[in-house]
Amino acid sequence: MQGHFLDPNGRIRRTHAVTERRDGSAVDPDPANWERERGTSANGSSPVDGIERGWMNDLIRGSRVLIVDDEESNLVVLEAILEDAGYDNVLCCADETQTFDLYASFQPDVILLDLHMRQMDGITLLKGLRTISGSDYLPVLVITGDASQQTREGALLAGARDFLTKPFTNNELLLRIKNLLETRQLYLTVRKQNRLLESRIDERTRELEEAKIEIMERLARAAEFRDDETGKHTGRVGELCAQIGTALELSEAQIDLMRQAAPLHDVGKIGIPDRILQKPGRLSVDEFEVMKKHTAIGSKLLAGSSSRTLRLAQRIALTHHERWDGRGYAGIVGENIPLSGRIVAVADVYDALTHRRPYKEAWDRERSVAEVKAQAGGQFDPAVVEAFLDLPEVVDLR
């Protein structure tokens, strides 16, 4: 028998060093005599006699058992019974104030707890254990000589899972521990399966999310394919919108939504004829009226979705040609234009200015920034322009 326990001063001691009880009486140094002395083994048989060893599978044998009892002789006896039964991971604690620290470091699968101790009573200890173990299933077997109804109910209320009243037989002790450990193992198995299930669900959710983003990117590219074969305008607008959103101190979630939804701002161009979309010069008044329909077409294409991203994309598709001064496609004024539409308006125009289009050459960044700045309060929301001018890539051009 090679166990350890903590004495009341917190020192780790060998169990065979115990020779004296709290009341000063001597402890028989021969473990074989302890059972007889306690009266827990009336026939003087081995602690595990009568118990089929078959149930003692590796799982239970490897379980961590913590025994808390300020009576050192009790620790010696209990540890002997457990070790003789095949438990090889038993820790004894004679100082109940160490229990919480030991719970954290040893992580027991079952705790055997004396209810009446000198420094901290068992009920208080049980309540503390329940608090620190949280939702973890922690079986505590209370061992007590006090079999009163009040004590039993108090301990059960405080979180005890089972009771053992002195005097008890070794077999009863081992069977109760075994039952508690089996429940503990069932709990651990279910918890492991739940975590596995959760991680699989997370993985599938992530795959679906990635697929959704990719489909939206490809839809945005399909929409702009006829007037920008490089397919990069939509992605750049999405990124620029995310940067402006960051400068405006939007939430992370809103910024991500903007990054995903903004590239779909011109999805309605799918419904605009090539002769207008790809016309190299300025559009006539009638042609421009047709071109303006791409906002309503885009909105119709994206309408009715339960996806937050697509609902935002619809709002953007419908409003990204509105002007702060109310002289945009639908004449919406100022803050009546959704913020997302006001942000995309700036990002879309800046990107169009800095890149070549069928009707114009690319402007340099300085001239483009100056144009955006000049439109603050006219075409654009001044607050959005201010955020745009704070971006690292344009701040030196303002």
Give the shortest CB-210-to-Fe ion separation in angstroms: 27
User: From the CB of 326, what's the least distance to Fe ion, in Å?
Assistant: 18
Window contacting Fe ion (CB under 5 A); options: 17-25, 216-224, 260-268, 381-389: 260-268
Nearer to Fe ion, 233 or 259 (CB): 233
**Taking Cα atoms as reference points, which of 55, 101, 92, 51 lies closest to residue 70?**
92
- Minimum Å gap between C-beta 266 and Fe ion is 4
DSSP 28: P
Q: Which residues pair with residue 163 across a beta bridge?
A: 142
Nearer to Fe ion, 283 or 397 (CB): 283
Q: Which is nearer to Fe ion, 96 or 322 (CB)?
A: 322
Q: Of 125 and 318, which has the nearer Cβ to Fe ion?
A: 318
228 binds Fe ion (CB under 5 A): no
| 112 neighbors 66 (Cβ within 8 angstroms) | yes
Closest by Cα among 204, 305, 320, 300 to 258: 320
- Name which of 352 and 397 has its Cβ closer to Fe ion: 352
User: Of 74 and 234, which has the nearer Cβ to Fe ion?
Assistant: 234
CB nearest Fe ion: which residue?
Answer: 266
Report the nearest approach of Fe ion to the CB of residue 372 (Å): 16
119 in Cβ contact with 96 (< 8 Å): yes
Helical pair 339-354 and 252-261, crossing angle rounded to 10 deg: 50
Site membership for Fe ion, residue 266 (CB under 5 A): yes
State how far the Cα of 322 lies from the Cα of 375, in Å rounded to an integer: 13
Q: Smaller CB distance to Fe ion: residue 113 or 347?
A: 347
CB of residue 262 vs Fe ion: minimum separation in angstroms? 11
Q: Which window, 58-66, 191-199, 204-212, 262-270, contacts Fe ion (CB under 5 A)?
A: 262-270
Determine the straight-line distance between the first and last CA of the chain, rounded to whole angstroms. Answer: 81
Q: What angle do CA 297, 298, 299 make, to 5 degrees?
A: 90
Q: Which of residues 162-201 bind Fe ion (CB under 5 A)?
A: none
Q: Which tokens hold the place of 108?
A: 């027991």
In the complex with Fe ion, the residue whose CB is nearer, 259 or 269, is: 269
Eight-state DSSP code of residue 152: H
From the list 66-74, 75-83, 128-136, 265-273, the region that binds Fe ion by CB under 5 A is 265-273
Give the pairing type, strands 12-14 and 4-6: antiparallel
35 binds Fe ion (CB under 5 A): no
State the nearest-atom distance from the C-beta of 397 to Fe ion, in Å. Answer: 24
Least Å distance between CB 298 and Fe ion? 8
Distance CA 224, CA 279 (A): 14
Residue 165 token pair: 């009243």
Q: Judged by CB under 5 A, which stretch of 106-114, 235-243, 258-266, 378-386 contacts Fe ion?
A: 258-266
C-alpha 212/C-alpha 207 separation (Å) is 9
Which CB, 316 or 376, lies closer to Fe ion?
316
> Shortest distance, CB of residue 346 to Fe ion, whole angstroms?
13
Written as six digits, the tokens of 189 are: 């198995």
Give the nearest distance from C-beta 382 to Fe ion in angstroms. Answer: 22
* Smallest distance from Fe ion to CB 294, Å: 6
In the complex with Fe ion, the residue whose CB is nearer, 96 or 266, is 266
Distance CA 184, CA 288 (A): 73
Distance CA 286, CA 182 (A): 80
Interacting span for Fe ion (CB under 5 A) from 232-240, 259-267, 302-310, 386-394: 259-267
Query: What CA dihedral angle connects 114, 120, 121 and 122, to 10 degrees?
Result: -50
Task: Give dist(CA 367, CA 371) in Å, integer.
Answer: 6
Cα–Cα distances in angstroms (integers) from residue 149 to residues 68, 146, 177, 208, 302, in the given order: 22, 9, 22, 57, 68
- List of residues contacting Fe ion (CB under 5 A): 266
